[in-house]
Amino acid sequence: MTVQEKPYSTVSRMVDIFGEWLKHRRELREMREIDAANFGQIASDLRMSSADLEALVRRGPHAADELPKMLTALGIDQDDLARTEPLVLRDMERVCSMCIHKRQCDRDLAAGTAAAHYEEYCANAPTIDGLSQHMSS
């Protein structure tokens, strides 16, 4: 790697991060422009409260990035789950998005210890355990 490649990759990454931030700000502005009745209807169509929908939008598009990694760590095929239980997967994404234990989860995923510790903090643990029991029977 040349000296020129590394600064470019750092600058490129920062530009991408800034672009994502701008896109998220635009989404928040659009959300505020929707009147309460329409926003409530959208939330209802998604089978969630307006408050939950607003919280999800505020958290951004990467709020559930840990879920696919956790499913992989636990030997659960996300594509199979999406085919067989799409509503369960969507609810798991919502729960993951709202999680307050992201740092612990990220540390365990990076260390390869998530399978041993997820039940201690993961709000999706009961669902994951139910899926594991369903898959093994």
Report whether pLDDT(31) > 50: yes
Rounded to the nearest 10 degrees, the angle between the axes of helix 5-33 and helix 50-59 is 160
Phi, psi of 134 (to 5 degrees): -65, -40
- Would you state the pLDDT for residue 1? 46
Q: What one-character DSSP code corresponds to residue 34?
A: S
Average pLDDT, the chain: 84
Q: What percent of the chain has pLDDT over 70?
A: 89
Q: What is the mean pLDDT of residues 35-48?
A: 80
- Would you state the pLDDT for residue 49? 85
Q: How many CA atoms lie within 13 A of 37 on its CB side?
A: 0
Residue ranges per structural domain of the chain:
1-62, 64-137
- Would you state the pLDDT for residue 122? 97
Cα separation, 79 vs 86, in Å, equals 9
* Cβ–Cβ under 8 Å, residues 105 and 118: yes
Cα separation, 132 vs 115, in Å, equals 12
pLDDT in tens, 75-125: 999 999 999 999 899 899 989 999 999 999 999 999 999 999 999 999 999
Cα separation, 44 vs 108, in Å, equals 35
Cα separation, 117 vs 44, in Å, equals 35
Report whether pLDDT(135) > 70: no
SS (H, E, C) 76-131: CCHHHHHHHCHHHHHHHHHHHHCCCCHHHHHHHHHHCCHHHHHHHCCCCHHHHHHH
